[in-house]
Amino acid sequence: MSSRKVGTRRAFDAAAADFAALGRHLWEPIGAATVAAAGLGEGDRVLDACCGTGASAIPAARAVGATGVVDAIDLSGPMIGELRRLSADLPQLRAHEADATAWDTSDYDVVQSALGIFFFPDMTDGTERLIGRARSGGRAVFTIWRGGAMVAAGRHLGRAVAAVTDSAPPPEREPSLIDRVDQAGPYAEWLSGRGLSDVDVVVNELRLAMTPEIAWLVVIGSGFRGLLDDLEPGAVEQVRERYLDSLREEGVTELDATTLIGSGTVR
Q: What sections of the chain are H helices per DSSP? A: 3-23, 27-38, 57-64, 77-86, 123-131, 151-165, 177-180, 184-192, 212-220, 233-249
What residues pair up with 207 in beta bridges, in sequence order? 256
Q: What is the CATH number of the domain that holds 182?
A: 3.40.50.150
List, for residues 187-228, the tens digit of each pLDDT value.
999 999 999 999 999 999 999 999 999 999 999 998 899 899
pLDDT tens figures, 116-138: 999 999 999 999 999 999 999 99
Check pLDDT > 90 for residue 55: yes
CA atoms of 10 and 245, how far apart (whole Å): 28
Separation CA 26–CA 216 (nearest Å): 13
For the chain, the domain total comes to 1
**Banded pLDDT at 261 (limits 50, 70, 90):** very high
Euclidean distance between the first and final Cα of the chain, in Å?
30
Structural domain boundaries, residue 261: 3-149+174-209+256-266
pTM of this prediction?
0.91
Distance CA 93, CA 107 (A): 17
Residue 35 lies in a domain: yes
pLDDT exceeds 90 at position 70:
yes
Q: Is residue 250 part of a domain?
A: no
Estimate the share of the chain in helix, then strand, then coil, as percent rounded to the nearest 5: 45, 20, 30
Residue 3's pLDDT band (cuts 50, 70, 90): very low
